[in-house]
Amino acid sequence: MNESLLARRYAKALLAYAEELGEADLLYPVMRHLGRTLRHASRESEVVDNPTLSEELRGRFVEALAGVEPVPESLRRFVRLVFDHNREYLFGPMALAYLQLYRQSRGIVVAEVRCAHPLSQEAKGKIERLIAAHKQGKVELEVKVESQLVGGFVVTVDGKRLDASVAGELERIRQHLSERNRSIV
């Protein structure tokens, strides 16, 4: 079976169970952390996938990676279920699928802002308000500082990108000059 489909099914079941227990909101930041930590080929995912370690030990390791005390009951039972069905290699994709399903159910829009320098809280607020005005729902802003942009920023929302960076403008000028030079020759 397709791994992403399987991960989504498990995530859907976890979300439904967490909703039933009233833990869905509590589980959201935990799954965001697990999704980042258990990405493909990370050291942590290698420990979780290691068959030479006992399932109990690996399960406790996943719970410890969650970074919350006490571990929500829905997550504790989910970890047990995943290990019982030998699907531990899908923890990272399951966590990411959970985030996607949770965001859909709550109307959360994720926007990524890449900028050359750290943004002030005021700038973050303005960007969130601008995006919220165009996208109905709550905006979750992920800011990444990338010095190679030189100045400005790049905003990505729903696969659409607005490049207002100096590096982007320089690339557009380079392409324009290349095209002009080709037409001259």
Instruction: Tell me: do 95 and 35 sit in the same domain.
Output: yes
Highest mean pLDDT among 64-68, 103-107, 128-132: 103-107
Instruction: Tell me: do 70 and 17 sit in the same domain.
Output: yes
**CATH number of the CATH domain containing 158:** 3.40.30
User: Which residues are 113's β-sheet partners?
Assistant: 143, 155
Last residue of a domain, one of 86, 104, 122: 104
Q: What is the pLDDT of residues 75-124, one digit of tens each?
A: 999 999 999 999 999 999 999 999 999 999 998 888 898 888 888 899 88
**Are residues 139 and 132 in contact, defined by beta-carbon separation less than 8 angstroms?**
yes
Nearest by Cα to 68 from 104, 99, 28: 28
Indicate the pTM of the whole model: 0.77
- Report the pLDDT value the prediction gives residue 177, as an integer from 0 to 100: 79
Instruction: Tell me: do 67 and 97 sit in the same domain.
Output: yes
Q: What is the pLDDT of residues 7-25, one digit of tens each?
A: 999 999 999 999 999 999 9
The domain containing residue 135 runs over which residues?
Answer: 107-184
For residue 164, pLDDT beyond 80? no
Q: Which residue has the higher pLDDT, 68 or 165?
A: 68
